[in-house]
Structure 1
Amino acid sequence: MANELQNRNNFFDNLMNMRNLMNDDFFSDLTPVANHMKTDVAESDKSYTVKIDMPGFDKKDIHISYANDILTVTGRRDTFDDDSDKEGNILHSERRYGQMSRQYRLPDADRKAIKAQYTNGVLTITLPKKSEELDDDSHIEIE
């Protein structure tokens, strides 16, 4: 009786493991890009600061652009190092390759003054705001 119970438990454990693997594979392509590019955006009177987690990317594979008040960050990973054993076997791999991109609406940034740094897998972009020059002649008299 104990063997029969053990075999039944192993059968159900194997079914659950297969279901989990199938769900992982089935839903992995539906995971939103936002889950892969965790972002913090801060705003002050003078600038925006955007911090994006992009671990495992080479600096040369990250493209940043700013146009029409939209900051676009794109990362591309074509390959990754293979961590298989001596026989080339990989039991499970969650690393992906391809391209991911996010956009952020950040109005009135001074495009020529934007700075970016990539350190320890975190991309930090500082976008100074355009300075508004006060015009002393803006007062209008009422007639």
Structure 2
Amino acid sequence: MMKSLFPIIDNNEFSVPDVFDNFFNNFMWPQQQFSMPKVDIEDRGSEYVMTADLPGVNKEDIHLSYDNNVLTLSTTQQAENNTQDDQKNYICRERSSSSFCRQFPVTGIQEDQIHASFDNGVLTIVLPKDAQQVQPDHTINIQ
């Protein structure tokens, strides 16, 4: 767009950055970047605790399941779709629908004791270990 108004001079010794294109592309209309939610998994000895940051996600949009030793976390967010959208003259429209799905292999837990909570955009999942699987730490001597 702006390249025709401000040509780039490029040779081995001198290069003018494309400041105007970057300004208009990144400031006025930033590219929508999708990233997977950040997840921490902590081993607390008798249980695993998974914490996932899900800002802007509603509790109703979170899908959580455990099947065949795999914990699946997914969300689907729908942007508001209005039939009048075609009649509006948007200059910039960045809101859209998005979804993601992450799977974590987790073995040796009590399926019927798994519980989760969601508060202020943070999902916390507690996965109690099977009592037979919980073993004290074993220290290995280095010779």
TM tier, smaller: 0.5 to 0.7
For residue 58 of structure 1, what is the aligned residue in structure 2?
58
Instruction: Please show how residues 102-121 of structure 1 align to structure 2 within 5 Å.
Output: 102-121=102-121
Aligned with 1:15 (options 7, 21, 26)? 21
Instruction: Please show how residues 28-43 of structure 1 align to structure 2 within 5 Å.
Output: 28=33, 31=34, 35-43=35-43
Question: How large is the Cα RMSD of the aligned pairs?
Answer: 3.4
Structure 2, gaps ≥5 residues long: 8-17, 83-87, 134-143
Q: Percent identity?
A: 27
TM-score normalised by structure 1 residue count: 0.64
C-alpha separation between the residues in 2 aligned to 1:117 and 1:98? 22
**Alignment pair present for 1:127 and 2:134:** no
Code of the residue aligned with 1:67 in structure 2: it is D
User: Once the two structures are superposed, what CA deviation does each residue of 1:54-100 show, in whole Å capped at 9, x if it has no partner?
Assistant: 11111111111111221100111012599xxxx7645463x442211
Aligned CA distance change for structure 1 residues 67 and 43 (closer, same or farther; 3 Å): same
C-alpha separation between the residues in 2 aligned to 1:128 and 1:88? 53
How many residues end up aligned between the 2 structures? 114
Structure 1, gaps ≥5 residues long: 1-6, 134-143
Contact 1:52 1:124 in 2 (8 A): yes
TM-score normalised by structure 2 residue count: 0.64
Aligned CA distance change for structure 1 residues 91 and 127 (closer, same or farther; 3 Å): same
Contact 2:78 2:96 in 1 (8 A): no
